[in-house]
Amino acid sequence: MTATVAAPTMVETLLTKAKDRTAVFGVVGLGYVGLPLAMEIVRAGYRVIGFDVNQRVVDLLNGGRSHIQDVPGATVADAVQAKTFSATADLSRLKEPDVISISVPTPLSKTKDPDVSYVLAATESVKRALRKGQLVLLESTTYPGTTRELMLPALEATGLKVGEDFFLAFSPERVDPGNERFNTRNTPKVVGGITPNCLKVALALYQPAIETLVPVSSPEAAELVKILENTFRSVNIGLVNEMAIVCDKLGVDVWEVIEAAATKPFGFMKFTPGPGVGGHCIPLDPHYLAWKMRTLNYKTRFIELAGELNAEMPVYWVGKVVDALNEQGKAVRGSNVLLLGVAYKKNIDDIRESPALDVIRLLELRGARVSYHDPHVATIKEDHITMSSVPLSAETLRAADCVMVITDHSAVDYKLVQRHARATVDTRHILSREPQGGDRA
């Protein structure tokens, strides 16, 4: 009598594919999060299919070029040539990968409510293609409950059972654009699964691509981890921004106070003030939690106050431009104001939620003629603002009635600024740091 060998379970099949690298990954959304993740997965020995609704991005990547500053074009070209990466706008091909990672935008509405329409659209596409033996991972930052309350019911409506037929988990992205020390591979990755099998499969499949994995008990815990990280930053930035205003009113140098406080070897973490906060994380993420808590009849007072403080900083700094022009006997209306840097942080090309956009609008509303120089951002086409970067020269600086530092990029000659600018408003304290010009590290 011949013994019957039981067919491997979906869990066992995926664990085997993780071990021998035969699993195929699909990454939905090939932006600042998805493309670096896709390249690390390729580097780990997997094949990746990238999905994006923007055909221009698809064609660019399939041509071996990159649209993301942190991902060299040569890295994409090598993966395309080796046939370990390809991009497509055909979402019906989502049935092909064994792992589907969703990295789509999660913006806020004008009323600061989460807009999960991109997540829902991606989930619907996955639902239409879902088959047995697939792991679905949401990486987009969102409010606690999104994975279980929105994605799970949609995917289980196919008749497949989570934890047995398919697997679902949440793993928040922790991308820090422009960070030369920490990248997708060496930044610890938090993972929370709907079931123990979901977590087990997700950890096994990610392990070859990520140095450190941090399992947590549920998707809700993983969703909250990312929000806590950025709420922590938002609240502390809000605190130090308010301290800048306090010091200004007291006639004290806030930077001197911060540097002195930072000498304490315990109990203090250094944050610095600026023109506001930008990017897709700090200005948005805390509002996901605030919205969720409002649905539970709780007001997140720290979070909302920090958001208000940070949002008001462009107004404060535009007031400093007004003061600088008044000292020259000039009105804002008709004055030339040159902004240095419009990216939301130094040495990157990302202007999402940048406070520079608010500064431009506020100055133009007052009648100023605004221009900007940014070595990383050639043009701005956002929120009814259309501008191009101007060259930084002695002539450009002398033509400006006031030069305002918004972003302290390294590739700016600040000595040139100090020599030729008539008046300056420095939101980053870069002009007082004895800069080394274009050679600064």
Condensed to tens digits (0 to 9), the pLDDT of residues 154-201 reads 999 999 999 999 999 999 999 888 888 999 999 999 999 999 999 999
Q: What are the CA-CA distances from residue 235 to residues 130, 217, 222 (Å)?
A: 40, 26, 20
Residue 333 pLDDT greater than 90, yes or no: yes
CATH architecture observed for domain 254-439: 3-Layer(aba) Sandwich (3.40)
Q: Look at the alpha carbons of 38, 134, 103, 127 in this order and tell me if their dihedral is positive or negative.
A: positive
Nearest to 240 by CA among 315, 304, 310, 300: 310
Bridge partners of residue 88, in order along the sequence: 51
pLDDT for 5: 56
Nearest to 273 by CA among 257, 290, 260: 257
Query: Which residue spans of the chain are classified as CATH 3.40.50.720?
Result: 10-217, 254-439
Cβ within 8 Å of residue 177, ≥6 positions away? 32, 69, 70, 279, 345, 348, 350
Question: Of residues 198, 247, 281, 402, which has the active-site annotation?
Answer: 281
Q: How confident is the model at residue 383 (pLDDT cuts 50, 70, 90)?
A: confident
Third-level CATH fold of 10-217 = Rossmann fold (3.40.50)
Residue 210 pLDDT greater than 70, yes or no: yes
Task: Decide: 198 and 156 in contact? Cβ < 8 Å.
Answer: no
pLDDT digits (tens, 9 = 90+) for 416-436: 999 999 999 999 999 986 444
**Interatomic CA distance for residues 250 and 161, integer angstroms:** 63
Share of the chain above pLDDT 70, in %: 96
Hey, is 44 helix, strand or coil?
A: coil
Task: Decide: 334 and 397 in contact? Cβ < 8 Å.
Answer: no
In the annotation, is 198 catalytic? no
Residue 2 pLDDT greater than 60, yes or no: no
**Pick from 45-59, 202-216, 274-288, 386-400: least confident:** 274-288
Mean pLDDT rounded to a whole number for the chain: 93
Task: Decide: 155 and 126 in contact? Cβ < 8 Å.
Answer: yes
C-alpha 112 chain-centroid distance: 17
pLDDT for 435: 45
pLDDT for 106: 87
Give the predicted TM-score (pTM) of the model: 0.89
pLDDT for 175: 84
Residue 438 pLDDT greater than 80, yes or no: no
Residue 4 pLDDT greater than 80, yes or no: no
Hey, is 70 helix, strand or coil?
A: coil
**Interatomic CA distance for residues 187 and 170, integer angstroms:** 16
Residue 291 pLDDT greater than 70, yes or no: yes
pLDDT digits (tens, 9 = 90+) for 13-41: 999 999 999 999 999 999 999 999 999 99
Which regions of 341-406 does DSSP assign to beta strands (E)?
A: 369-373, 379-382, 385-388, 402-405
Cα atoms in the 13 Å half-sphere on the side-chain side of 376:
24
pLDDT digits (tens, 9 = 90+) for 296-329: 999 988 888 998 899 999 999 999 999 999 999 9
Residue 3 pLDDT greater than 70, yes or no: no
C-alpha 198 chain-centroid distance: 26
